[in-house]
A and B are shown apart, each in its own frame.
Chain A
Amino acid sequence: ETGVTQSPTHLIKTRGQQVTLRCSSQSGHNTVSWYQQALGQGPQFIFQYYREEENGRGNFPPRFSGLQFPNYSSELNVNALELDDSALYLCASSPRLNTGELFFGEGSRLTVL
């Protein structure tokens, strides 16, 4: 059984650029969440997708957007990058809604210069 995989693992962007991060959910999982983890902090919820629709969002501006595809994989897009967007971006999948048992990937480390 393949777990949650994320790509790329590391990337460097400059301020003002746009970035797309990708996530393949675990087989059989139809729900995907994205989290941002700044250095030394716990992860913060960005949003959640279920059956290709966003159905929950944390306190992040609209320049953070996402997609979920029919195969349940997902993308996180961040426009107009700011220095404070430098963080580890974590994707988590789960087999159903309303469960607290999430399966996380290893994350994509974004550095904004």
Chain B
Amino acid sequence: DAKTTQPNSMESNEEEPVHLPCNHSTISGTDYIHWYRQLPSQGPEYVIHGLTSNVNNRMASLAIAEDRKSSTLILHRATLRDAAVYYCILRAPIQGAQKLVFGQGTRLTINP
């Protein structure tokens, strides 16, 4: 399984943008980049995913480097509810396999 590297923790202020980095230098050409987050006492929640192009949805944006060796999850305007552990995950599109390999993730703290 290809590995990702994320900072252990980050801190930001409410209503400011947050950029969560992820390095994945061993990514293969067909690996998808997924982001999940886990709020306290809850199961993980899907945030966004992409392959090569930048992606936007109602929750966040995903910026993927041109060489695909890194990506950044962008929360445009953080709220207190965005405080969570954020996981960057690579997933090979093997038919039938939905195995997600979670690392330690980044614990995001939002200050009021």
Residues of A at under 8 Å CB distance from B? 4, 31, 33, 35, 41-45, 48, 50, 55-56, 58, 90, 92, 94, 97-107
Given contacts A106-B42, A106-B43, contact A98 B97 (CB under 8 A): yes
Partner of B46, one of A98, A103, A106: A103
B: number of interface residues (CB 8 Å): 26
Q: Which residues of A contact B101 (CB under 8 A)?
A: 45
Is the Cβ of B102 less than 8 Å from the Cβ of A42?
yes
When the two chains form their complex, are residues B43 and A98 in contact, meaning their CB atoms are under 8 A apart? no
Show 13 residue pairs from A and B whose CB-CB distance is below 8 angstroms, ordered by the A residue.
A33-B99, A42-B105, A44-B102, A56-B98, A92-B44, A94-B98, A97-B98, A100-B46, A101-B49, A102-B44, A102-B46, A104-B44, A105-B43
Shortest A107–chain B CB gap in Å is 5
